[in-house]
Structure formats: C-alpha cells, structure tokens
Amino acid sequence: MKLNRRNIITVDEAEKLIEKYYEGETTVAEENQLRTFLAQSNVPPQFEAEKAIFGYYESKKARKHFRLQPYLRWAAAAVIAAGVIIPVSIFQASGKTSYAYINGVRITNTQEIISLAQTTINYVSDNNEVEDGLDNLKNDETIKTQLDAFSEIEL
Amino acid sequence: MNSKCKYLILVVMFIAGCGLEIKAQSDLDINRIFDKYGKQKGSVMVEMSKEMLEGYDFSFYKSIVISNNEEAGDFTRGCLQTDQNGAKKVKQVVTNGKISSVYLQLPKKGKYNRLILFNEKSVPELKMTLIYIESEKDSEEIMKLILKKK
C-alpha cells in the first residue's frame, strides 16, 4: 500500500485497511498506520467506531505500560522504607540525641554535656564502694573472708 | 497501589517514627524517673549517644542527679525494685533501712550489656544519682572504665 510522505494514509486507504482489519488480515505495520490515521484530530465521522476501538486499545495499552508489576510494587515499598529508615538511623547515629538538662534548661554544648556526665560519674565512683563491688564481681573471696572469721571458734 | 503495599508503608513509617524514641532502656522502670524528674528544678539529666562516648567505650549513657528531693529517692528505689527482677545485683548498700547504693547488671539486650548505678548521699546535702549505661563490654570492664575516669 502506498503511503504519503508523512506516513499518514488517505481516507480511501484507511477504509481498505479497516476492511482488512475486520477480516483479520492486517499486518502489525498496517495496524500501526491505521492507528496513526485514527489518532488524528480531523478523522472523518464514519471512522468513529474504529476510532473508539483503537482508542480503547490505546488506553488499555497505556495503562498496561504504567502498571507496576507486583515485584516492582514491593521494590518500591522497600525503597520507601529505606528512604525513611536510613535517615532516621543516620540522625540517631549522628550524636544529635546527646543533651543535658539543668534545672529544666536544655544544654546541647558537647563539652558541657561531657563535663556534666563526668561529674555525675564522680558522684557514684567517689565512694570507694565501687571497688568493693568490683571485688564482689570477681570471685567469692568476700564470703571466704567472712567465713574465716568463724574458723577460730571452738565448738 | 494495593492495600498490602499501603499497609507495609504505614507499618514501616510507624516503626521508623517510634525508632526515634526506642532505646534499650525503654523496657525499664527507671525510664519513669528520667521522665518525671529530668526537667525539674534541682535535677541534672544527661543523655549521651555513642559518638560522644568514645573515650568510655559506652554505647549509651543516661544519668540524673537530683538534689534535696527525698520523694525522688523513694520513687527511684521503687523503680529499681522492679528493674532488679532478672538482673544481677552486683552490690547493694542499705543505710538506715533504705537502699543507699545499688549496682544492677541487667540482662543483655542484643549485643549490649546494661548497667544501672544508683547512689544516694545525705551529706553534705541529700543527693541522688542514677546512671544507666549500655556497652558492648562486660559489667566489670564498665566499672573499670568508670573508675579510670575518676
């Protein structure tokens, strides 16, 4: 079939192709030509039915094209999840959660926070009971020492 | 987008949102002490994350010092009573019938060892100190690290 320079078929050619189409004898290339013809804005009214048929297939094709496959949907969900979790993790790891409150006033100065923590630790470790606690952790020497106190008692 | 996908995203966002607050100490009763007294007058509360604790090899540090508040001390003792369930009591000192000092080695949470240190002194003023520490090191090493920094 002869085509014009713009690859748009004439009305006569379109009618012949449509006949061929209904008989199921058109090739893929011919159907594409027909589709291009029917997609024009100034298609004669007698082609309305065919335009609807091809329009339907076009829209279905378009929908199919943009439809995400199930695995792609899960992949998209995973990407979104990563997009949420990773920044949260980075935020938490960035040290921005370090702070102090003195009499209800928030402190974010690093040196001041460290200094306060050090002071607090000193409150606990200043009494020598910490060392005693360590000794208790190590072994049962405390019990042994206490039992030794009774070893000299005569029964 | 189908309902499964929406559901998944909602769940992920919820978990991520909660993640901002979820820490290993969140299952402990002592959390209530930080919540209740942390921002009050007479209190000094400190929370430090891993980056600021490199010198100590701790992963997390939270402490509170409360001055001249007897009620806070009693409240803390009550919380410690709950948290010591399942914990190893490394040391406890009772003064005048009240716990004045206790070190609790809590059950491991993930890869972290957890330790609670509590101390209350009445001289020169009533001062209560509570420290919560998470570290990959064991309790003994944590204590050594604390002493090393004295």
Partner residue opposite B146 with nearest CB, options A74, A91, A125:
A125
Interchain contact, A121 vs B131, CB within 8 Å: yes
Residue with tokens 């969140």: B26
Q: Using CA atoms, how far apart are residues A51 and A117, in angstroms rounded to an integer? A: 78
b/e code A71-100 from CB counts within 10 Å (16+ = b): eebeeebeeebeebeeeeeeebeeeebbeb
Mark which residues 58-87 of B lie under 8 Å from A by CB. Answer: 61, 63, 65
* In the predicted structure, residue A89 carries a pLDDT above the cut 70: no
Q: Which of A29-38, A53-62, A91-100, A136-145 has the highest mean pLDDT?
A: A29-38
In Å, the largest CA–CA distance within chain A is 130
Three-class SS of residue A109? coil
Contact status, residue A116 vs residue A106, Cβ threshold 8 Å: no
If residue A35 lies in a helix (H) or strand (E), which one and from where to where?
helix A28-38
With 50 as the cut, is the pLDDT of residue A87 above it?
yes
What pLDDT is attached to residue B42?
Answer: 92
CA of A78 vs chain B CAs: smallest distance (Å): 8
User: What's the order of all strands across the beta sheet hosting B112-121?
Assistant: A105-107, A99-102, B43-49, B58-67, B127-135, B112-121, B98-109, B88-95
- Give the residue-averaged pLDDT of A77-101: 72
What are the C-alpha distances in Å from B89 to residues A141, B81, B93, B107? 17, 11, 11, 11
B26 and chain A: CB distance < 8 Å anywhere?
Answer: no
* Residue bearing the bigger pLDDT, A72 or B99: B99
Token pair, residue B113, equals 């060892």
Strands B58-67 and B112-121: unpaired
Q: Would you call A77 and B12 a contact, using CB atoms and an 8 Å cutoff? A: yes
The answer to whether the Cβ–Cβ distance between B47 and A99 falls below 8 Å is yes
- Categorize the per-residue pLDDT at A144 as very low, low, confident or very high, splitting at 50, 70 and 90: low
A1, with CB counted inside 10 A (0-12, 13-18, 19+), is: exposed
Going by pLDDT thresholds of 50, 70 and 90, the confidence category of residue A72 is confident
Check whether B27 has a pLDDT greater than 70. Answer: yes
Min Cα distance B10 → chain A (Å) is 9
Question: What is the reported pLDDT for B21?
Answer: 43
Residues of B in contact with A120 (CB under 8 A): 44, 46, 63, 65, 129, 131
Measured between beta carbons, which residues in chain B are less than 8 angstroms from residue A102? Answer: 43-44
Contacts of A115 in chain B (CB under 8 A): none
* Mean confidence (pLDDT) of chain B: 82
Chain B nearest-CA distance from A126, in A, is 8
Interchain CB distance below 8 Å, B9 and A77: yes
Please tell me the predicted confidence (pLDDT) of residue A114: 86
Q: Which of residues 91-130 of B touch A (CB under 8 A)?
A: 91, 93, 101, 103, 117, 119, 121, 127, 129
pLDDT reported for residue B24? 56
The 3-state DSSP composition of chain A as helix, strand, coil percent (nearest 5) reads 65, 5, 30
Give the chain A residue whose CA is nearest to the CA of B144. A134
Q: Which letter does DSSP use for residue B100 in this model?
A: E
Residue B147 — very low, low, confident or very high, per pLDDT cuts 50/70/90? Answer: low
Q: Do B45 and A91 touch (CB under 8 A)?
A: no
**What confidence category does residue A2 fall into, taking pLDDT thresholds of 50, 70 and 90?**
very low
Q: What angle do CA A128, A130, A136 make, to 5 degrees?
A: 115
Residues belonging to chain A = 155
Q: Given a cut of 70, is residue B37 above it in pLDDT?
A: yes
DSSP-based three-state secondary structure for A106: strand
> Which residues, in sequence order, are bridge partners of residue A150?
none
